A and B are shown apart, each in its own frame.
Chain A
Amino acid sequence: MWLWFAKLGSPRWFYELSDKWLPWLYVSMLILMSVGLFWALLIVPEDYQQGQTIRIMYIHVPVASISLACFPLMAVAGTITLVWKMKLADMVAQSVAPIGAWFTGLALATGAIWGDQIWGTWWAWDARLTSLLIQFFLFIGVIALRSAIDSPDAAAKACAVLAIVGAINVPIIKYSVEWWNTLHQPASNFSIDPVAPNPPEVWVPLLVMISAVYVFFAIALILRTRNEILQRERRSQWVIDLVTREKNV
């Protein structure tokens, strides 16, 4: 058990394992993404209320769901950093932060485009959008803190603490925003629920898209983490060997 754990924490082990995984991930993303996009953009019937605009949801929902998963993921990685001092966990935590910020930004942007079509305004203080916005600020805070601290060890631990505090706060923010919003603006045209109960021909392609974007996220995370590993381990022998081999090829 401990051996396995120590192995898992080794950046080199992760680097070599991910070498084997990446091709499979590329292929499955390509398949899922093309099937999902084709299905969602061309085959799915128009929504009786939202028309063609519903197709934005096939991007928005997967992206938003990942952006929600990023903070807990960062907090888990942070906890591992603090408790077991595992280097790999911090590299993952560092890689998640900008990806999370990007996905949150993307979710906000697609939400705004959808809002422009359906609500007639780019921005509304809708509960979902507002809590995404605040979460975006939280990501920016973690990234800012990381870049402000010079010592990598101190930065890792400080960001881990902030990620854990933030992760505890995210649900509180989400519920308080929802509560604030529902009591504030009863009904009106904001009430159209983009993910209302739908027939299978609508949610199956959504599921495909969600898995496609999840695989994409995994690839992005692995690539960033690999970059981080090479950066931080640049003085260790195996990285030097790797680089010289690549050069010779």
Chain B
Amino acid sequence: MNDAREIQGLKGVSTWSAFCATLRRDLIIALKRRNDLLNPIMFFLIVVSLFPLGISPDPVELSSVSAGVVWVSALLASMLSLDNLYRADYEDGSLEQLLLSPQPLYFLVLAKNIAHWLISGLPVVILSPLLAYMLYLPSEAYWTMVLTLLIGTPVLSLFGSIGVALTVGLGSRGLILAVIVLPLSTPVLIIGAKAVTDVMFGLPVSSHFALLGAILALALTMAPLASAAALRISVN
């Protein structure tokens, strides 16, 4: 009997189905909590609309900063939503279950990161053309902006995940998450915003996309490993 149990236990489930189940679980939780879904988008919208109020309503001035404004706001929106990534799981003990799964933690963390991006990053990407229009971004730069955000925001989720994993056990996190995560995100911001600005000046941007893609590839391979290590430390 004992042996039979062990063999069954060994067979277990495939990594792929654990990956899918984790992704589905996080998406269901997000869909059941509409507020969490809406907050990053509203935050993005509000921050972007603050800039014309703070700078000037002048179309020329706004269009020159529009790329940077959209990118910085997307970065902040991603930051804001990061807290949900592991916090609830840490508090209710689900994170312990995740760590004790026989499946490789890399894929489970990756599933959670992808879920986070689908919830917080993708809506921002979809909404960005509207905001770019409000900031008078020249029409030829629209596609570049959407594409850079599409490649760049997953990197923000992946890097952010490391920061949240490191701080999830802390009682008073305050701004420490931002202090850790924001400097790590600067390369993406620089390249993403610059690609949009360069297109506005009619410069070629293929190298920008190559760099962004390289950073995304690096983040996909390395960041979940770092997050997994950080989670083990935090749950200890």
Q: Are A137 and B182 in contact (CB under 8 A)?
A: yes
Chain B hits for A168, CB < 8 A: 218, 222
Chain A hits for B230, CB < 8 A: 158, 161
Given known A-B contacts A148-B167, A161-B166, A134 and B226 have beta carbons under 8 A apart? no
Encode B153-197 as 1/0 by CB contact (under 8 A) with A: 000000000100011011011001001101110110011001000
Q: Which residue of A lies closest to B172 (CB)?
A: A148
> Is B229 in the interface zone, CB < 8 Å from A?
yes
> Is A176 in the interface zone, CB < 8 Å from B?
yes
- Chain A residues 89 to 119 lying within 8 A of chain B, measured CB to CB, are none
- Chain A residues 160 to 188 lying within 8 A of chain B, measured CB to CB, are 161-162, 164-166, 168-169, 172-173, 176-177, 179-180, 183
Query: Complex formed: what's the CA distance from A179 to B215 in Å?
Result: 15
> Is A157 in the interface zone, CB < 8 Å from B?
yes
Which of A148, A161, A172 contacts B170 (CB under 8 A)? A148
Q: Are B176 and A158 in contact (CB under 8 A)?
A: no
- Chain A residues 167 to 226 lying within 8 A of chain B, measured CB to CB, are 168-169, 172-173, 176-177, 179-180, 183
Interface residues on B, range: 20 to 34
Given known A-B contacts A140-B179, A144-B180, A183-B194, A161 and B186 have beta carbons under 8 A apart? no
Q: Which residue of B lies closest to A138 (CB)?
A: B183
> Is B236 in the interface zone, CB < 8 Å from A?
yes
Which of A145, A154, A176, A180 contacts B180 (CB under 8 A)? A145
> Is B64 in the interface zone, CB < 8 Å from A?
no
Dominant secondary structure of chain A at its interface with chain B? helix
> Is B103 in the interface zone, CB < 8 Å from A?
no
Q: Are A177 and B190 in contact (CB under 8 A)?
A: yes
Query: Complex formed: what's the CA distance from A177 to B166 in Å?
Result: 26
Chain A hits for B211, CB < 8 A: 176, 179
Which of B179, B182, B198, B229 contacts A161 (CB under 8 A)? B229
Which of A137, A153, A154, A161 contacts B169 (CB under 8 A)? A154
> Is A149 in the interface zone, CB < 8 Å from B?
yes
8 A-B pairs with CB atoms under 8 Å apart are A137-B182, A145-B167, A148-B176, A151-B236, A165-B222, A165-B223, A166-B183, A180-B194
Residues of A bordering B, CB below 8 Å = 82, 134-135, 137-138, 140-141, 144-145, 148-149, 151, 153-154, 157-158, 161-162, 164-166, 168-169, 172-173, 176-177, 179-180, 183
Residues of B bordering A, CB below 8 Å = 162, 166-167, 169-170, 172-173, 176, 179-180, 182-184, 186-187, 190-191, 194, 198, 211, 215, 218, 222-223, 226, 229-230, 233-234, 236
5 extra A-B contacts, CB within 8 A, seeds A148-B173, A164-B226, A168-B218: A137-B183, A141-B176, A165-B226, A169-B183, A180-B194
Sorted from nearest, which 10 A-B pairs have the closest CB atoms? A176-B187, A137-B183, A141-B180, A157-B233, A180-B190, A176-B190, A141-B179, A138-B183, A172-B187, A158-B166
